[in-house]
Amino acid sequence: MSLISMKFILFVAAAVAGYYLMPKRVQWVWLLLFSYIYYASSGIKLLFFLIYSTLVTYAAGRLLSVVRTSCRDKKKIRKYGRLIIAGGLVLNFGMLAVMKYTNFVILNINSLFGTDLDFVSLLLPLGISFYTFQSTGYMLDVYWGKCDPEKNVLRFALFVSFFPQILQGPIGRYSRLAGQLYTSRSFDFQRIERGIELILWGFFKKMVLADNAGVFVSAIFSDPEKYAGLSVFGVLGYSIQLYGDFSGGMDVVQGIANLFGITLDENFRRPYFARSITDFWHRWHITLGTWMKDYVFYPVSLSGWMSRFGKFAKKRFGKSTGRVLPICLANLIVFLVVGIWHGAAWKYIVYGLYNGMIIAVSGLLGGQYRRWKKALHIAGNPWWYQLFQILRTFILVNISWFFDRADSVPQALYMMKNAVTSFTPSQLLTIPVQQSGSTAMTAAVLVIIAAGCTLLFFVSILKERGVQIRESLAMRPLAVRLAVFLALFFALPCLGQPPSLTGGFIYAQF
Amino acid sequence: MEQLLEILEDIQPDADYAACETLIDDGILDSFAILSIVSELEDTFGIAITPAEIIPENFNSAKALWAMICRLKEEA
């Protein structure tokens, strides 16, 4: 069931109405029921994967608890704990790996060894990466004693399957989300109003910005030779499309959760204002970044073999560099995983390693940067220096988008070359934006994208400066609030692309 | 405690470690800095810091870090 459909709007309306009409003690059961109906609507067979992941992580949590309560020997607790967590990880990630990467492995075996192995026809369950990561995070939190295991399997099933977030995140943490899911609530008009407001803003970003930009992006990336002079517009368009699509999707998801009085973790914080790639990953897909940090980066960095490598590096390269080298290596491993997470293709691996390399080099040169800054007499962070950092980061991010969006690494490199050697902006007007192939509306759509970006830019600046836009709107008279609602509502069909042409959200495929 | 302050100054200068209580919350220490600190603390104080210890409560201030060091030394 697409998020941009009348069916889904009616589904959410029924879920919200029923939630507040239910006896309070069973409100969470209602949410669970609707979450499973929603997931099953994509295919009843897919429920198997969701139930599998739920049961594996639930069982791991319970087993860890049993070991802790029944065993007094700390060494034994550690030993059994490690076994349980290893089993849980293999079972949970094993399923993800099989479903997502089998054909990628076959493709590489065929090209390496000249074999002719057939591809396997596998379903890719919607949202499998998201719920696998969310449930694995819970399992590791229980292992590290950061949260208590859930005893009720149905309550735990709701934590894994909560329908607004199951397809594209945010990846929730048990300690922050679970309690909210099980809390009972009374109807609150203000809560509903604010939820709808966020949903409309999210759809505006998706349908007016992302989908309009996506028309140009698709044309340019599907024929990079014909549109060689538009490569730079292709990637800039993609940066608009991806941000509008993913952050818009997150606003929709957050808005729906708000209708039930639930606040999900923040996933975007004005990422294009980032001053470094590290800062970018603190602002873009935040829940994936923090997941990687807590469950991959720290454990890998603090592992025994990394500690031995650190000692060797300190002896070999000196205290300062030796201290940072293992962290850089762990960081590269993290971004390799991030790349693989994004998809089964080499271009994603390059995308991940590109980000990891930049962060690793920045880490190694941290002291050097401070010395350069001092030598250039740059004291503190003057506005022009911050602006330079933002533009530099934006360019670096856009280079990574070439790898992300292009069909292959050679195509990405070809388009990068064109971006600096060929420039024919007038060609933009030759790209048809209507299904009929007409270019009559092309200029108008470009103006809509520019106007939408300007609006988003000013909203982002206000938010960056700490202005609480939604709070101040809530204090305005009803007529003003209604006008904003109606403007957003009518902007969708009048200014956006029809959902039947653009498909769903990009990240729902992960 | 003095040794700890020296380590912090060496890894990430330009912060008032004696007074600041929001080293993580305000983003003064990023993940690279945290792991550099962990590496130095393990070498200097002979303790083992696990991923479970890397939480804001343990790294938000020099005082909190010192409390963690003392606790891990006792447990060792």
Taking an 8 Å cut-off on Cβ atoms, the answer to whether B51 and A145 are in contact is: no
Which of A261, A232, A233, A191 has the alpha carbon at shortest distance from A474?
Answer: A191
Q: What is the pLDDT of residues A329-379, one digit of tens each?
A: 999 999 999 998 888 889 999 999 999 999 988 888 877 888 888 888 888
Cα of A286 vs its chain's centroid, Å: 7
The whole-model pTM stands at: 0.88
| DSSP type of residue A302 | T
Is A325 within 8 Å of A317 (Cβ atoms)?
yes
What is the Cα–Cα distance from A125 to A128, expressed in whole angstroms?
Answer: 6
Domain extent listing, chain A: 6-187, 189-264+389-510, 284-377
What SS3 class is residue A501? helix
**Distance of residue B30 Cα from the nearest chain A Cα, in angstroms:** 9
Burial A213-249 (b: 16+ CB within 10 A, else e): bbbbbbbbbeebeebbbbbbbbbbbbbbbbbbbbbbb
SS (H, E, C) A82-136: HHHHHHHHHHHHHHHHHHHHHHHHHHHHHHHHCCCCCCCCCCCCCCHHHHHHHHH
pLDDT of residue A406: 95
Which of A299, A211, A96, A129 has the alpha carbon at shortest distance from A506?
Answer: A211
pLDDT of residue A57: 96
Q: What is the pLDDT of residues A443-477, one digit of tens each?
A: 999 999 999 999 999 999 999 999 988 888 888 88
pLDDT of residue B52: 87
Select the residue from B29, B31, B38, B40 to test the A interface by mutation, using most A Cβ atoms within 10 A: B31
Sequential DSSP letters for A161-222:
H-HHHHTT-----HHHHHHHHH------HHHHHHHHHHHHHHHIIIIIIIHHHHHHHHHHHH
What is the Cα–Cα distance from A150 to A141, expressed in whole angstroms?
Answer: 12
Q: What is the pLDDT of residues B37-48, one digit of tens each?
A: 998 898 899 898
Give the angle subtended at the CA of A408 by the CAs of A390 and A170, to the nearest 5°: 55
Residue pairs spanning A and B at CB distance below 8 A: 43
Query: What would the two tokens of residue A31 be?
Result: 């949410």
A264 backbone dihedrals φ, ψ, rounded to 5°: -85, 165
Query: What would the two tokens of residue A222 be?
Result: 């599907």
Cβ of residue A282 closer than 8 Å to a chain B Cβ: yes
Mean pLDDT of chain B: 89
The CATH number, out of the four listed (3.90.1150.10, 3.90.660.10, 1.10.1200.10, 3.30.450.40), of the domain defined by the range B2-75 = 1.10.1200.10
Taking an 8 Å cut-off on Cβ atoms, the answer to whether A297 and B42 are in contact is: no
Sequential DSSP letters for chain B:
-HHHHHHHHHHS-SS-TTT-S-TTTTTSS-HHHHHHHHHHHHHHH-----GGG-SHHHHSSHHHHHHHHHHHHHH-
Mark which residues 10-69 of B lie under 8 Å from A by CB: 11, 13, 27, 30-32, 35-36, 38-40, 42, 49-52, 54-55
Is A20 within 8 Å of A187 (Cβ atoms)?
yes
Cβ of residue B75 closer than 8 Å to a chain A Cβ: no
Residue A341 C-beta-side C-alpha neighbours within 13 Å: 25
Q: Which residue of B has its CA nearest to A328?
A: B32
pLDDT of residue A221: 96
Taking an 8 Å cut-off on Cβ atoms, the answer to whether A146 and B39 are in contact is: no
Which of A100, A420, A97, A503 has the alpha carbon at shortest distance from A231?
Answer: A420
**Distance of residue A316 Cα from the nearest chain B Cα, in angstroms:** 16
Which of A298, A363, A370 lies closest to B51 in CB terms? A298
Q: What is the dihedral of CA A93, A98, A99, A104, to 10 degrees?
A: 120
| Cβ neighbour number for residue A423 with a 10 Å cutoff | 14
Which of A13, A53, A52, A18 has the alpha carbon at shortest distance from A33?
Answer: A18
Which of A299, A310, A370 lies closest to B39 in CB terms? A310
Residues of chain A with pLDDT under 70: 500-501, 503, 507-510
pLDDT of residue A155: 97
What is the Cα–Cα distance from A113 to A247, expressed in whole angstroms?
Answer: 42
Burial A472-496 (b: 16+ CB within 10 A, else e): eeeeeeeeebeeeeeebeebbeebb
B-chain residues within 8 Å CB-CB of A293? Answer: 31
What is the Cα–Cα distance from A37 to A44, expressed in whole angstroms?
Answer: 9
Q: Which residue of A has its CA nearest to B31?
A: A293
Is A48 within 8 Å of A131 (Cβ atoms)?
no
The interface pTM score, or ipTM, of the predicted complex is 0.85
Place of tokens 């729906």: A256
Give the angle subtended at the CA of A450 by the CAs of A445 and A455, to the nearest 5°: 125
pLDDT of residue A236: 97
pLDDT of residue A509: 60
B73 backbone dihedrals φ, ψ, rounded to 5°: -65, -40
